[in-house]
Amino acid sequence: MNVLETMKKCIREALPDLDMVMGWEQGFDTLHATPLFMETAEDVDRLILGPTCVQSLAVHLPSLKGKKIGVVVKGCDSRAVVQLLSENLLNRENLVIFGFGCDGVVSLSRLKKKLGALDFIESAEKKDDRLCIEINGEQQDLPFDDICAPKCLTCSRPNAIISDHFAGPQRTPRIPAKGKTALEKFEEKSLPERFDFWKAQMQRCVRCYACRDSCPMCVCRDHCVAVSRNPHFVSQEATASENFMFQLIHVMHLAGRCVSCGECERACPMDIPLGLLRAKSTEVTSALFNQEAGLDQEAVLPLLSFNIEEETIEEHD
Amino acid sequence: MPPSNDLKDGGELRIIGFLCNWCSYSGADAAGVARLEQPTDLRIIRTPCTGRIDPLFILRALINGADGVLVSGCHPGDCHYVEGNFHARRRLETLKRILPISGIDPERFKYTWVSASESGRWQETVREFTAKIHALGPAPRMTDVVSRSKDLSLEGLLLQDENGGA
């Protein structure tokens, strides 16, 4: 039995005790997956697993608190679940986690850059380390590393780190390719260059809040400080400075909580490299507090705790 | 008060100070009462505790055009609310280290601890920080229009594309 069939079997067996199980189904073509909310056994038939299952379904979990929910998770999604559990935003007993070993997911924006347009894809299939797609009657065979999500290039946790049911084999984490990370490359720029970069990027930002809404750790929803009038941190003007303020709020609110799932960057319709800001925040909090988010259910948020003597912080007196 | 002599240019810059009510604000007050001469670029906002200072206050000030932000509170261990400044220390240090990625010079933000009795130290802190901000000059503003032809390539920032141009 392959991974998908095993997963379907697990879900069918668990479904009678659950209100719903979240997974993915094929969207309007074979390259696009869309979230699938399974309530009956027939719904389970539509489930797919594979490189097109890009969305993190963990984002829906906090709003479904109180219901008995099953969720299918990749390695990166599972970290979000762990982090939500550690922050007491979910009840473990109401949650059934279906994990599997992820083999990387595609990045539609990288693929679009490669192919020019992604109108309708007749077929898309991953074969080892290549993606074979058929577009406008033409066969294209692309190296997967060229079109996968950036996070997959350095993925160290492809397997769900928490699960009640695990389908298929464990994947071995990939050895990160040699070369500088995006963050290291960006940090070679001088401060004024970086500022100009963000200034230009923030002029493109349309403040659609897709980055916030796709973020599994953004749980304030209607109480988001970015839209509240009291306190009024950000105005409704979509100017570069207001957009930047919003982005930096997101970064500060995720400091020590960001699970590096890359959903913000994926969801961005303007392809703004928001991952850089998150990557830096993760680097900083790991260095300061020796703690990575989404790995330990018992962990205490670093910015909600302190040591009387901080070893990593130079004393300022 | 005339601008301090150690500042070469006459123009004032905008420096925002967030001071804890119990230590630094009293310290600054004591410095004033003692007529310790200080540069006048600093505009002080009094807060109940450094723990009240959301890092977003600092970001908002910097993005709204402050040339520098100074945060000062009780020495760790002396907090009026026992642990407010321990929390603040973690938040402020996190912010200070994240700032460089945004292109905002982290030197424009300083946090320090000054107690109510250290009026001399307060004078020294303000002089030093103001001089540093004057050396850096006015902060770049987000509102200045940037040409859209500027390099916006994203692919160059990805790991695999070695020859990318970003």
pLDDT (tens digit, 9 = 90+) per residue, A290-311?
999 999 999 999 999 999 999 9
State whether B143 and A313 contact (CB < 8 Å): no
Beta strands in chain B (DSSP E): 15-20, 42-47, 68-73, 109-113
Tens digits of residue pLDDT in A132-184? 988 888 888 999 999 999 999 888 899 999 999 999 999 988 877 778 888 99
Which residues neighbour A53 within 8 Å (Cβ) at sequence distance 6 or greater? A24, A33, A74, A105
Cα separation, A106 vs B3, whole angstroms: 60
Cα separation, B12 vs B41, whole angstroms: 6
- Considering just the CA atoms, what is the radius of gyration of chain B in Å? 19
Q: Note whether B156 contacts A: Cβ–Cβ < 8 A.
A: yes
Which residues neighbour B12 within 8 Å (Cβ) at sequence distance 6 or greater? B3, B40, B41
pLDDT of residue A291: 92
Chain B residues near residue A197 by CB distance under 8 angstroms = 103, 150-151
Among candidates B105, B143, B154 on the partner chain, residue whose Cβ is nearest the Cβ of A240:
B143
The arithmetic mean of pLDDT across residues A228-233, rounded, is 91
Q: Note whether B117 contacts A: Cβ–Cβ < 8 A.
A: no
Q: Residue A305: what residue type?
A: S
Is pLDDT above 90 for A122? Answer: no
Among candidates A245, A284, A306 on the partner chain, residue whose Cβ is nearest the Cβ of B97:
A284
In a domain, B5, yes or no: no
Two structure tokens written together for A273: 């490299």
Confidence of residue A25 (pLDDT cuts 50, 70, 90): very high
Q: What CATH code is carried by the domain that includes residue B80?
A: 3.40.50
In a domain, B8, yes or no: no
Cα separation, A116 vs B155, whole angstroms: 14
The H or E element that residue A122 is part of is strand A121-127
In a domain, B105, yes or no: yes
State whether A182 and B152 contact (CB < 8 Å): no
Probe site for chain B from A107, A193, A241, A308 (most B CB atoms < 10 A): A241
Q: At what angle do helices B84-102 and A240-254 cross, to 10 degrees?
A: 130
Cα separation, A247 vs B80, whole angstroms: 33
Tens digits of residue pLDDT in A47-91? 999 999 999 999 999 999 889 999 999 999 999 999 999 999 999
pLDDT of residue B2: 44
Q: Residue A14: what residue type?
A: A
Cα separation, B53 vs B24, whole angstroms: 14
pLDDT of residue A263: 95
DSSP SS3 for B63: helix
Chain A residues near residue B98 by CB distance under 8 angstroms = 251-252, 255, 277, 280-281, 284
Chain A residues near residue B155 by CB distance under 8 angstroms = 110, 113
> Other CB atoms closer than 10 Å to residue B74's CB: what's the count?
25
Q: Apex CA A47: angle with CA A41 and CA A50, to 5°?
A: 160
Minimal CA separation from A112 to chain B, in Å: 12
Q: Note whether B153 contacts A: Cβ–Cβ < 8 A.
A: no
Q: Note whether A199 contacts B: Cβ–Cβ < 8 A.
A: yes
Name the CA dihedral angle for A106, A286, B87, A61, rounded to a multiple of 10 degrees.
30
pLDDT of residue B166: 34
Name the CA dihedral angle for A283, A289, A294, A297, rounded to a multiple of 10 degrees.
180
Q: Which of A126, A128, A77, A69 is nearest to A100 (CA)?
A: A77
In a domain, B165, yes or no: no
Question: Which comes out higher in pLDDT, residue B14 or A125?
Answer: B14
The arithmetic mean of pLDDT across residues A224-235, rounded, is 91
Two structure tokens written together for B97: 């280290």
Q: Note whether B5 contacts A: Cβ–Cβ < 8 A.
A: no
Q: Which of A225, A76, A206 is nearest to A153 (CA)?
A: A76
Among candidates A181, A200, A252 on the partner chain, residue whose Cβ is nearest the Cβ of B152:
A200
pLDDT of residue A317: 62
Q: Note whether B142 contacts A: Cβ–Cβ < 8 A.
A: yes
Q: At what angle do helices A240-254 and B55-63 cross, to 10 degrees?
A: 160
State whether B100 and A195 contact (CB < 8 Å): no
Two structure tokens written together for A72: 């299918």
Helices (H), A15-95: 41-44, 75-86
Among candidates A196, A273, A276 on the partner chain, residue whose Cβ is nearest the Cβ of B150:
A196
pLDDT of residue A178: 76
Q: Which of B26, B32, B38 is nearest to B74 (CA)?
A: B26
Domain boundaries, chain A: 1-178, 179-317
Q: Which of A209, A198, A201 is nearest to A267 (CA)?
A: A209
Chain B residues near residue A178 by CB distance under 8 angstroms = none
Q: Which residue of B has its CA nearest to A307?
A: B86
Q: Residue A113: what residue type?
A: K
| Percent share of chain B, pLDDT over 90 | 78
Tens digits of residue pLDDT in B67-100? 999 999 999 999 999 999 999 999 999 999 999 9
The total number of structural domains in chain B stands at 1
Q: Note whether B34 contacts A: Cβ–Cβ < 8 A.
A: no
Residue B48 lies in domain: 15-157
In a domain, B142, yes or no: yes
Two structure tokens written together for A204: 């493109």
pLDDT of residue B10: 60
Lowest-confidence pick of A104-108, A219-223, A287-291: A219-223
Tell me the backbone φ, ψ of residue A282, rounded to 5 degrees: -65, -40
In a domain, B1, yes or no: no
Q: Which of B90, B82, B140 is nearest to A312 (CA)?
A: B90
Interface of A with B in 154-193 (CB under 8 A): 154, 176-177, 179-183, 185-187, 191-193
Q: Note whether A249 contacts B: Cβ–Cβ < 8 A.
A: yes
Task: Give me chain A's average pLDDT, please.
Answer: 92
Cα separation, A168 vs A100, whole angstroms: 6
Across the strands, what pairs with A143? A130
The arithmetic mean of pLDDT across residues A271-293, rounded, is 95
The arithmetic mean of pLDDT across residues A29-45, rounded, is 94
pLDDT of residue A194: 95
Across the strands, what pairs with A140? A133
Q: Which of A79, A58, A80 is nearest to A70 (CA)?
A: A58
